[in-house]
Amino acid sequence: MEPSNFPNGAPQFDGRKAETAADQLPPSPSSASITSQSSASTSQTRGRETATATMQATKALPSTPPGTPYPVAPIPKRPPKRVLLVALGVGAIALTVAGVRWWQYASTHQETDDAYVTGHIHPVNSRVSGTVTQVLVDDNQRVAQGQLLVQLDPRDYEVALQQAQAALEAARHQADVAQTNIGVVAANAQGQTTAAQGNIDAAAASISTSEAALAEARAGVPAAQANLVQVEANLVKAKLDYDRYINLVREGASPQQQLDAAKATYEALLAQRNTLKEQIRQAQAQVVQAQKNVDNAQAKLAATKGTLEQANSVTKQTEANRRQYQAALAAIAQAQSQVKNAQLQLSYTRITAPTAGLIGNKTAEVGQRLQSGQTLMAVVQDQEWIVANFKETQLGKMKPGQLVEIKIDSFPNHPFKGKVDSLSPASGAKFALLPPDNATGNFTKIVQRVPVKVVFDPESMKGYESQIAPGMSVTVSVLLN
């Protein structure tokens, strides 16, 4: 069919008849030769492709009124066989090079995307109960170690500290009194012991003297009694002589002078007897007195010994006072510990940052009533590392010190570097709350994953230190030596 003049200066085709026209076209010589050399399936495929191209070309043309002759679109030429062979060869070479490179990479690298950034997250807890009076930080704020974060009401703890200090002063006064009593009682005990010992010595000497006097008094009584017996015997003879001379004088047989001499002798003996009797009575009285003196000396000795025992008891009281002083010292130590505890409790009303870092998860508010151990916020320390959970089949050649290529999902265009720091001593499942137990029931083998700690290279982190946060997803690739 030949093209004719159409409105708008362009040939027009009827889309409804395009597919029919394409099916009625005779094959070109080049297509016939190719078709004769290819299989039946290839010919059908290429025919469908040619028809599809023709349909797309005819559908793109504007529609024409009915009865208007249509031009036939030209059939695209198929590439020659040599071009196809070259294309297949280039593709095969490219696939081979890619496969070799992949094999080289896979044999020298172990990669996993089951990895994440972690770090030290320090919880900030209240060590005492109290009411929040000040919150001096906010979320995402950087703080220094020891910086004040939260202030609790300290008045209750200030009163407790004052009470502990008063108890300490009372314990110190009691210790001073006990120490003074030790000196006083010790001095009294020493004086009483010395006096009692002297009294004992004096009483012993008095007993010796009294016993000697008693012995002497007892020895004088028999002698006086013997003299009395002799005097009484002489007195009897003198009495007889005196009576005989009285009769002789009366009869004139004896002179008066002999009578007077006999009378004088009789009276002298009578006086001597009375004297001896008095001496005996006095000697007996001396014996009684000496016995009393001995008894008194012995009683005094016993009393002095009692004083010595009392002095010894005072010495024991001194020992008791020393123990009381030691107890007072122990009470001082206890009071001092209570003061220190009260000071600690007061210091805990100032909640400070345990380390330098960023504040996160802040829940403390002014007026909030806190309990001991309640978490107020967290401080994220500026020291991140990566925990990569490799399969156990990937750890055969992995060891600390190997280089690691790191890709963080948040920064896909920036490569990070690091090195293997250490391997976990057990798989992650063993550290789970409920570790698996395959000793009972059916067993299904599951490849375990072992956490590997990877540390960043500080040089590769420059400019990203404040942007890398714990919890970020990471892909790591370990270069095996």
Determine, yes or no, domain membership for 92: no
Helix (H) / strand (E) element for 110: namely strand 109-125
| Burial readout 437-462 (b: 16 or more C-beta within 10 A, e: otherwise) | eeeeeeeeeeebbbbbbbbbeeeebe
Confidence of residue 293 (pLDDT cuts 50, 70, 90): confident
444 with 323, same domain: the answer is no
Domains of the chain: total: 3
Per residue in 222-281, pLDDT (tens digit) is 777 777 777 777 777 777 777 777 777 777 777 778 777 877 887 787 777 777 777 777
Give the residues across from 404 on adjacent strands. Answer: 418, 478
Measured CA to CA, the distance from residue 327 to residue 284 in angstroms comes to 64
Determine, yes or no, domain membership for 107: yes
298 with 247, same domain: the answer is yes
381 with 411, same domain: the answer is yes
Q: With 50 as the cut, is the pLDDT of residue 19 above it? A: no
Looking at 78, 109, 134, which one is the last position of a domain? 78
* CATH assignment at residue 115: 2.40.30.170
299 with 401, same domain: the answer is no
Determine, yes or no, domain membership for 90: no
Confidence of residue 13 (pLDDT cuts 50, 70, 90): very low
Q: Is 25 exposed, middle or buried (0-12, 13-18, 19+ CB in 10 A)?
A: middle
Q: With 90 as the cut, is the pLDDT of residue 177 above it? A: no
Determine, yes or no, domain membership for 83: no
Domain that holds residue 58: 7-78
Per residue in 410-440, pLDDT (tens digit) is 999 999 999 999 999 999 988 888 888 777 7
Determine, yes or no, domain membership for 455: yes
* CATH assignment at residue 264: 1.10.287.950
> Average pLDDT of the chain?
78
Determine, yes or no, domain membership for 91: no
User: Helix (H, G, I), strand (E, B), or coil: what is residue 147?
Assistant: coil
Looking at 46, 78, 110, which one is the last position of a domain? 78
168 with 229, same domain: the answer is yes
Range scoring the smallest mean pLDDT among 60-74, 125-139, 178-192, 464-478: 60-74
420 with 465, same domain: the answer is yes
188 with 322, same domain: the answer is yes
Q: Give the residue-averaged pLDDT of 454-468.
A: 92
192 with 66, same domain: the answer is no
Range scoring the smallest mean pLDDT among 128-137, 210-219, 269-278, 318-327: 210-219
Determine, yes or no, domain membership for 95: no
pLDDT, position 322? 81
242 with 128, same domain: the answer is no
Q: Give the residue-averaged pLDDT of 472-481.
A: 91
- Between these two residues, 476 and 233, which has the higher pLDDT value? 476
Q: CA torsion, points 16, 19, 21, 23, in degrees to nearest 10?
A: -160
Measured CA to CA, the distance from residue 153 to residue 198 in angstroms comes to 70
- Between these two residues, 60 and 234, which has the higher pLDDT value? 234
pLDDT, position 296? 76
Determine, yes or no, domain membership for 197: yes
247 with 314, same domain: the answer is yes
Q: Is the pTM of this model over 0.85?
A: no
Measured CA to CA, the distance from residue 12 to residue 22 in angstroms comes to 16
24 with 145, same domain: the answer is no
65 with 116, same domain: the answer is no
- Sign of torsion over alpha carbons 434, 440, 446, 449: positive
pLDDT, position 239? 76
Q: If we measure between CA atoms, which residue out of 76, 29, 30, 84 comes closest to residue 50? A: 76
Confidence of residue 443 (pLDDT cuts 50, 70, 90): confident
- Between these two residues, 308 and 53, which has the higher pLDDT value? 308
Measured CA to CA, the distance from residue 425 to residue 431 in angstroms comes to 10
